[in-house]
């Protein structure tokens, strides 16, 4: 049997000659030659997809959407044809580790496997692009004629972030969720087609495919995520208890039960996934510090470029390279006045050749200041593994890619903010410390259960455990179980509230963010040790530490070339993900929360 890649117009290298033993089964030489050829073809396909996706997300037009569909359809077709070939080649005896790993990664590389049927493949690509566009163009409109007013996600989110008017917040929250119901029947077709594609390459459904990308059997990965959640769950329960009590004081026990669920629309965030916008309500010692970074950024007229430069400056202070000049020429840092765009922040290497870019509508806010560090973490990962084979140009697992920038952002301490002129109080003040820990907790601890449940919902949907008519109820059951968060009122029969979160219509797996929330503290702890830090973990900033930078580069340069335990060992010296560093980091706040919650009935 001769194993060949399909001869694509965009890339068709001369195939290796078949070996005499090919009919008896694949050989190591055959597998190695096939992988080398696949590398070139995948580069061409993925580069074309990236180009079209960048153009579309920075200019949402029907023509650009059609171009995305065409590029994605071609990539899906290549994957459909070649993943079975890769699976067969992986059985060749005496494979070298580099070839074997590339074959393994190819099998799990696409979160959206397409069916072999070309019509179904086209339909899947069209649905995926359409849902992404619907989300990006989404608006909530009220009034008629000249009185008609439409607000997009950014404007509605500002209401939740800044208002304390229950009814105004409720209208904004419910308004955004009018965008997603039309996606529900599309998502049903999308899931069915994706599952069909997954079955054709040997997986029960898309959920099992996603879980198989972590260098361990899917059932073991499920157990691993539950173990990590239980390690950090006590932190969340104490934060939830304190937050709920303060919200009851603000809105009244007639609207928020002192022992029940927190209504989703009063946490300051459209999805109640982080709560930093209600920090003024929860600040342990009001006035003890000047940690209103948003106010400082605005008062000092920080624009988008200055914020991005500050993020780059942190990485270069650790001895890492500056971003390429093209980064500043090709990125989208602000929302164009004359185009519809996807403002959701993302990092890109469009040409897959160190063509680093950011796509983001940067505002002078603490959230965006932290986000730019996160996104640059992706760019630096891309930069340092850009010379590797294309299938290695990724994180050791997807949580690694998300954790890098977040680990660096943990060094945005009061002392660092003071260094760059955004704060006057340093970390020596114990009250200021608790204020900063609360602010961090509202972003990182509050996020943990949301990061965990997003994919639990999809795994249940993809597996058929939950019927379509029960999707929304199951969403809120998981929100209640893990987050202690509830809908602010009855939801309409056609509601599709999961679709109101970008990563659902965009089909971006979300477990990576939960894992990153854990890993960033392990990475931070290791870099702090390398930097010679001897105090409590929460006081450490690795800004300016070349030794910490070397630790960071050690994992960046590996990309996905090694199983993630090897990459984890390269930066931390250990081979197991562990939540203890996170618990240690927040130990001052945990003690304070337990004191504040004494006598309260925590849980829900």
Q: What is the 3-state secondary structure (H, E, C) of 86-153?
A: HHHHCCCCCCCHHHHHHHHHHHCCCCCCCCCCHHHHHHHHHHHHHHHHHHHHCEEEECCHHHCEEEEH
| pLDDT higher than threshold 60 for residue 11 | no
Sorting pLDDT into bands at 50, 70 and 90, what band is 436? confident
pLDDT in tens, 380-428: 999 999 999 999 999 999 999 989 999 999 998 878 888 899 987 665 6
CA–CA separation, 15 and 24 (whole Å): 19
Most confident of 30-34, 74-78, 363-367: 30-34
Report whether 258 contacts 244 (CB < 8 A).
yes
Residue 441 CA neighbour count, 13 Å, CB half: 32
> Residue 448 has what pLDDT?
97
pLDDT in tens, 202-259: 899 999 999 999 999 988 999 999 999 999 999 999 999 999 999 999 999 999 999 9
What's the token pair of residue 143? 């009034």
Neighbours of 182 (CB within 10 A): 15
| pLDDT higher than threshold 90 for residue 349 | yes
pLDDT in tens, 488-516: 999 999 999 999 999 999 999 999 999 99
> Average model confidence (pLDDT) for the chain?
92
> Residue 425 has what pLDDT?
65
Q: What percent of the chain has pLDDT over 90?
A: 81
The CA dihedral of 185, 189, 190, 196, to the nearest 10 degrees, is 160
**Closest among 454, 486, 508 to 225, alpha carbons compared:** 454
> Residue 300 has what pLDDT?
96
Cα torsion 95, 98, 99, 101: sign:
positive
**Closest among 378, 406, 176, 185 to 272, alpha carbons compared:** 176
Stretch 251-280: mean pLDDT = 96
> Residue 17 has what pLDDT?
42
Q: Domain limits of the chain?
A: 22-116, 293-444+515-588
> Residue 15 has what pLDDT?
38
| pLDDT higher than threshold 50 for residue 273 | yes
What is the DSSP secondary-structure string of 549-581? HHHHHHHHTTTTSS-HHHHHHHHHS-SS--SHH
Stretch 297-303: mean pLDDT = 96
Phi-psi region of 546 (alpha: psi -120 to 50; beta: other; left: phi over 0): alpha
Backbone torsions φ then ψ of 247, nearest 5 degrees: -70, -35
| pLDDT higher than threshold 80 for residue 23 | no
Sorting pLDDT into bands at 50, 70 and 90, what band is 289? low
- Beta 139-142 vs 149-152: how paired, if at all? antiparallel
pLDDT in tens, 460-483: 999 999 999 999 999 999 999 999
C-alpha gyration radius of the chain: 24
β-partners of residue 358 are 347
DSSP 8-state secondary structure symbol assigned to residue 332 = B
Report whether 400 contacts 555 (CB < 8 A).
yes
Place of tokens 């078949």: 18
Neighbours of 491 (CB within 10 A): 16
Stretch 522-533: mean pLDDT = 97
What is the DSSP secondary-structure string of 431-487? HHHHHHHHHHHHHHTTTHHHHHHHHHHHHHHHTTSS-GGGHHHHHHHHIIIII-EE-
Stretch 562-588: mean pLDDT = 96
Report whether 93 contacts 376 (CB < 8 A).
no
Sorting pLDDT into bands at 50, 70 and 90, what band is 286? confident
Stretch 424-449: mean pLDDT = 85
Backbone torsions φ then ψ of 310, nearest 5 degrees: -65, -40
* 3 state SS for 180-197: CCCHHHHHHHHHHHHHHH
Sorting pLDDT into bands at 50, 70 and 90, what band is 5? very low
Which residues are annotated as catalytic? Answer: 344-345, 374-375, 378, 402, 503, 513
pLDDT in tens, 97-128: 999 999 999 988 889 988 989 999 999 999 99
> Residue 423 has what pLDDT?
82
> Residue 2 has what pLDDT?
31
> Residue 433 has what pLDDT?
83
- Which class is 22-116 in CATH? mainly alpha
pLDDT in tens, 481-492: 999 999 999 999
604, containing H or E segment:
none
> Residue 291 has what pLDDT?
63
β-partners of residue 485 are 262
| pLDDT higher than threshold 90 for residue 539 | no
Three-class SS state of 358: strand
Phi-psi region of 577 (alpha: psi -120 to 50; beta: other; left: phi over 0): beta
| Distances in whole angstroms, Cα of residue 105 to Cα of each of 83, 209, 337, 391, 559 | 10, 11, 41, 7, 12
Place of tokens 């339909």: 123
């Amino acid at each position: 049997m001769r194993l060949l890649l399909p001869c694509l117009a965009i890339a068709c290298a001369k195939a290796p000659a078949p070996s005499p033993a090919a009919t008896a089964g694949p050989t190591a030489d055959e597998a190695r030659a096939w992988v080398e050829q696949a590398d070139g073809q995948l580069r061409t396909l993925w580069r074309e997809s990236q180009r079209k996706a960048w153009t579309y997300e920075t200019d949402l037009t029907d023509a650009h959407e059609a171009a995305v569909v065409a590029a994605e359809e071609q990539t899906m077709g290549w994957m459909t044809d070649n993943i079975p070939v890769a699976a067969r080649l992986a059985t060749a005896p005496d494979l070298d580790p580099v070839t074997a790993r590339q074959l393994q990664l190819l099998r799990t590389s696409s979160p959206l496997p397409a069916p072999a049927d070309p019509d179904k493949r086209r339909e899947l690509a069209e649905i995926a692009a359409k849902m992404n566009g619907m989300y990006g163009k989404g608006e909530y409109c009220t009034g008629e004629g000249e009185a008609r007013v439409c607000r997009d996600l950014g404007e509605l989110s500002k209401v939740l972030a800044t208002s304390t008017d229950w009814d105004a917040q409720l209208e904004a929250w419910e308004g955004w969720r009018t965008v997603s119901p039309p996606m529900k029947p599309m998502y049903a077709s999308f899931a069915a087609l994706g599952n069909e594609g997954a079955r054709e390459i040997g997986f029960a459904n898309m959920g099992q495919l996603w879980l198989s990308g972590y260098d361990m059997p899917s059932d073991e990965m499920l157990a691993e995520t539950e173990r990590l959640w239980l390690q950090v769950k006590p932190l969340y329960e104490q934060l939830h208890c304190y937050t709920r009590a303060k919200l009851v004081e603000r809105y009244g026990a007639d609207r928020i039960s002192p022992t029940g669920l927190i209504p989703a629309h009063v946490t300051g965030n459209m999805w109640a996934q982080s709560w930093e916008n209600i920090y003024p309500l929860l600040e342990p010692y009001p006035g003890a510090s000047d940690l209103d970074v948003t106010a400082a950024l605005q008062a000092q007229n920080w624009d988008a470029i200055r914020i991005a430069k500050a993020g780059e400056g942190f990485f270069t202070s650790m001895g890492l390279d500056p971003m390429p000049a093209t980064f500043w020429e090709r990125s989208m840092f602000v929302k164009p006045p004359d185009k519809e765009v996807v403002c959701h922040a993302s990092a890109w290497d469009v040409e897959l050749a160190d063509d680093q870019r950011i796509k983001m509508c940067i505002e002078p806010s603490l959230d965006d200041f932290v986000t730019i560090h996160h996104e640059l973490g992706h760019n630096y990962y891309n930069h340092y593994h850009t010379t590797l084979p294309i299938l290695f140009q990724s994180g050791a697992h997807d949580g690694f890619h998300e954790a890098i920038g977040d680990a660096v952002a943990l060094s945005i301490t009061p002392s660092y903010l003071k260094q760059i002129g955004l704060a006057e109080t340093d970390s020596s003040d114990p009250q200021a410390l608790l204020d900063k820990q609360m602010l961090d907790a509202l972003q990182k601890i509050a996020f943990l259960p949301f990061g965990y449940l997003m994919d639990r919902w999809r795994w249940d949907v993809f597996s058929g455990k939950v019927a379509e008519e029960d999707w929304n109820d199951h969403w809120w059951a998981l929100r209640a179980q893990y987050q202690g968060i509830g809908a602010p009122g009855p939801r309409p029969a056609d509601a599709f509230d999961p679709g109101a979160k970008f990563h659902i219509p965009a089909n971006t797996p979300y477990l990576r963010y939960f894992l990153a929330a854990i890993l960033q503290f392990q990475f931070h702890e290791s870099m702090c040790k390398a930097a010679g830090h001897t105090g409590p973990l929460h006081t450490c900033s690795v800004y300016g530490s070349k030794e910490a930078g070397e630790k960071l580069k050690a994992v960046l340069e590996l990309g996905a070339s090694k199983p993630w335990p090897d990459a984890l060992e390269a930066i931390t010296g250990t081979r197991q993900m562990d939540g203890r560093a996170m618990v240690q980091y927040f130990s001052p706040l945990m003690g304070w929360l337990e004191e504040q919650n004494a006598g309260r009935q925590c849980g829900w």
